[in-house]
Amino acid sequence: MLSFELTIDGKAHATGETFDVLNPSTGEVAGRAPIAGKAELDAAVAAAERAFKTWSQTADDELKAACEAVTAKIAEHADELAQIITAEQGKPLNGLGSRWEVGGAQAWAGYTAGLSLPMKVLQDNNEGRVELHRKPVGVVGSITPWNFPLMIAIWHVIPALRTGNTVVIKPSPLTPLSTLRLVQIMNEVLPAGVVNVVTGDDGAENLGGLMSAHPGIAKIVFTGSCATGQKVMRSAAETMKRLTLELGGNDAGIVLPDADPAQIAEGLFWGGFINNGQTCAAMKRLYVHESIHDEVCAALVEFAKTIPVGDGMDEGSILGPVQNRMQHEKLSRLVAEASEKGDVLLGGAPGEGLFFPPTLIAGLQNGDSLVDEEQFGPALPIIKYSDVEDAIAMANANPAGLGGSVWSSDIEAARKVGQRLECGSVWINKHGMVQPNAPFGGVKASGIGVEFGEEGLEEYTNIQVLFS
């Protein structure tokens, strides 16, 4: 039984109540997390404000060294963190699962540690000198989702630290344990109050809402659904908080007629089914030219049949369960509706507990719920098209705009199609492969701002122009 306390001002902070965190594979209690309320949040923000006074004045090379020390701590505790992620999130230890997530978190932390935002001289002549400085914003409030609990925490926290900010992080109540442990080990190498963590069960005291309205928090970084992101934005308006919102996606993939079905099948599968489809930038809709539609469907089915699904703690599992009951019910509804209209090629019916087999459904079109809504699970609708102009129009006919992909043997032709997609990232012959040196963010309803790279680092700063 895993059990962790809050970390506030560098110390363990007990609360009077806890809540159960369930293992999605078994339904059993994986651990217990503390229930924090307004008092604990206020204490965490106050600690972060105190720490900011000195942390914000820390030399750039010392900030870099501190982020490198955090990176080393993640590596030191890699297997422990992976075990916790699997216990609470359900994803397998192997494949693109928990060990891969911890490795990604370590890679992102290490890369971001090496970035910097030096002062820029805009003018230096007989009329005077003008400098552009990047200044930390203050206390950053991080609200993270349940699909990649550790990696997204690192995506939020390390850029904040690297730019001289302090942090209060609130993980999803479905997957709080890995973040509670992560912040514990971070505090072994960071000054007190620089990173604090609060958790709650989203009951009477909605910590997320309290954070987005809190006058002591200067910026909110939120990863989650479009609907919740809108609430964060409204709540943050009163205090004019800076915002980075990475929201839901309904990413489209377009397969051009010259693509090789056998060659792209594996990439298509993982584009749609990475993390069991529970990924904002997973491929959620696949448009395939009529000339190769049947061959692509057949190749996808054959590859999908080879993927073992099971308990995340089983070393042989490659995909695990859907993480929670609410998401499982939404997925089941969308698949059931799609099954009545389309052709179920594979899967189509829920398994035991929260398991759901990889599901491929052809014969659908825009307007069908599985195509229009973000399923966030292991089901992929396949839509046949005859003209590439129609495919582009259908791909763009959605309020979301996170990512997209084009699949073709002609890279230049694919690039031209990709540039016409209304989304923040486009991949050619792959999908969803984000990397720490490339900015990532959505357009339209998929969010505001970007993460990763220098552009992502800038989001944690205010500009100050110095004239002399």
DSSP structural state of residue 275: G
State phi, psi for 15 to the nearest 5 degrees. Answer: -120, 165
- Shortest CA distance to 414 belongs to which of 400, 428, 424? 428
Residue with tokens 């509706």: 337
Give the strand pairing for 29-34 and 2-3: parallel
Q: Which of 224, 371, 357, 367 is nearest to 284 (CA)?
A: 371
Q: Which of 246, 374, 451, 459 is catalytic?
A: 246
Give the tokens for residue 58.
């820390």
In terms of phi and psi (left: phi > 0; alpha: psi -120 to 50; beta: otherwise), the region of 5 is: beta
Is 315 among the catalytic positions?
A: no
What values do phi and psi take at 423, rounded to 5? -155, 165
Active site residue 246: yes
- What stretch of H or E contains 276? none
Distance from C-alpha of 452 to C-alpha of 159, rounded to nearest angstrom: 8
Residues forming beta bridges with residue 152, ordered by sequence position: none
Cβ–Cβ < 8 Å for 395, 249:
no
Q: Active site residue: 226, 280, 297, 423, which one?
A: 280
Catalytic residues: 246, 280
